[in-house]
Structure 1
């Protein structure tokens, strides 16, 4: 390891040691992991789950199950709280799947995310997650689904799975 990498590794270790909560992290330089801690530890995924939804969508598009240009109508009942622009727009806007994916990733739009979950199917996405070997990741509910959360359902992932999905999406 170079002197700069060694120094960076030491700085990361200090930050991790001083952090008050739990951390799952992988730091990579080129093709080599230079630091990791709790990479298999399961955390609530929050919006990181959107990366797994995107990868499942891309598979559907590659298999010609969907097209980027396929249209989906925004309805008021689709709108949910949290981040995003769609919740602010009038209903009956005709969006493409590409529009929804772009809003989900660039603005972390929860409405777009839920619309894609409905379109792809939560069961399909979870099956995709298993098939791809994401061992610590689960999609159990849509964004802002308080009823599912009260039943104990949530979305989970790990640093290891998050790293792998980012690597797969960057190909």
Structure 2
């Protein structure tokens, strides 16, 4: 069954006309890697780097952070809609992951500093993942600054945070953007737990997920760039996720 799963996913990937990277691990053993070390624009996957640094550096999660209205940004999230003068760091992290809140992410980044996050990444052997700008910073984008990651490093970042920091697991388990890898079976009641983080932007769609069923795990990182038909790209995510779920349920 494992060989059939990998063969069918490889066939789906190689038929696509845009840039794709994917890794699949079954029970922590790598079974598939295509363009795993290619650097992609990260979109919201950079939030995996931010949360790992904050939790690894033993920040005071009860510390309150002032929410300057002048620094509020749009895009994903709910903080921009609320009139809250300050929030605990813990709550900002929860928003950053569970609803991919860009404003919350920026307040977290500003509270700890980009250099420390990048130093953390470098010291732990991450060579493709870098935080070069805040979220929704169009001026930085115009000047050629963007955030980056790779398939293998984004998968490793998700694995690290889930394995090391129990506080974060409910934020990923209740993550609201579940229409990609988990889209074909989410809320089906099949018993598979989904821990994931997505990213999206112009011609960018990413998802990194762990599917857990009983004592078995399938971990998938799928990053794409350059698709001209987003509906078909999302369909690819759904197909791959569904195949992985079927494998878990029927192994």
Normalising by structure 1, report the TM-score: 0.92
Q: Per the alignment, in what secondary structure is the counterpart of residue 28 of structure 1?
A: strand
The alignment status of 1:129 with 2:121, answered yes or no, reads yes
| Paired residues for 1:28-67 under 5 Å | 28-61=25-58, 66-67=59-60
- Compute the displacement of 1:107 (Å): 0.4
Name whichever structure is richer in helix by fraction. 1
Is residue 79 of structure 1 aligned with residue 76 of structure 2? no
Runs of 4+ more than 2 Å apart:
none
User: Shift of the alpha carbon at 1:142?
Assistant: 0.3
Q: Which residue among 143, 149, 154 is the counterpart of 2:146?
A: 154
Q: Which of 117, 133, 137 is the aligned partner of 1:145?
A: 137
Q: 2-side partners of 1:77 and 1:57: how far apart?
A: 24
How many residue pairs get aligned? The number is: 163
| Matched residue, 1:115 | 107
Q: Give the CA deviation at 1:52.
A: 0.4
Q: Distance in 1 between matches of 2:109 and 2:51?
A: 10
Structure 1 partner of 2:19: 22
Question: Matched residues in 1 for 2:146 and 2:87: separation?
Answer: 28
Residue among 72, 82, 85 paired with 1:89: 82
**1:80 positional shift:** 0.5
Contact 1:9 1:35 in 2 (8 A): yes
**Which residue number in structure 2 is paired with residue 105 of structure 1?**
97
Question: TM-score, normalization: structure 2?
Answer: 0.63
Match of 1:33, SS?
strand
Q: Which runs of 5 or more structure 1 residues have no equivalent in the other structure?
A: none
Larger proportion of strand: 2
Give the Cα separation in 1 of the matches to 2:116 and 2:29: 33
- C-alpha distance in structure 2 between counterparts of 1:30 and 1:40, whole Å: 21
In the alignment, what sits opposite 2:9? 12
Where does the alignment leave 5 or more consecutive residues of structure 2 unmatched?
A: 164-251
Q: For 1:4-38, what per-residue CA distance to the aligned partner results, in whole angstroms no more than 9, with x for missing partners?
A: 10110111111101222111111010131111100
Cα distance, 1:162 vs structure 2:
0.7
Instruction: Provide the alpha-carbon RMSD of the alignment.
Output: 1.0
Describe the SS at the equivalent of 2:19.
coil
